[in-house]
Amino acid sequence: MERTLVKDTINKVGETITLKGWVNTKRDHSKIVFIDLRDRSGLIQIVGTGELFGNLKLEEVISVEGLVKSRPERLV
């Protein structure tokens, strides 16, 4: 699958894409982990399980494939 830049995800809601970049921040809540992924175009939040993302370190380079979802208006 072709890489998508963070800045282009706004046009990909509902699609499965691949992102590549650096782990900018990580918030680990045991079963769920929030990653802020940084590429040359910006930042995006990635949500995954502790099993998948639990061992990631800051500034590691990763590739992630997943479904793009928009943030609900009440959370903006």
Interval 23-75: pLDDT, tens: 999 999 989 999 999 999 999 999 999 888 989 999 999 999 999 999 887 76
Domain-wise residue ranges, the chain:
6-69
Q: Please state which architecture CATH assigns to domain 6-69.
A: Beta Barrel (2.40)
Q: Report the b/e string of 52-75 with b at 16+ CB within 10 A.
A: ebeeeeeeeeeebeeebeeeeeee
For residue 37, what pLDDT is reported? 98
To the question of pTM greater than 0.75 for the whole model, the response is yes
For residue 51, what pLDDT is reported? 86
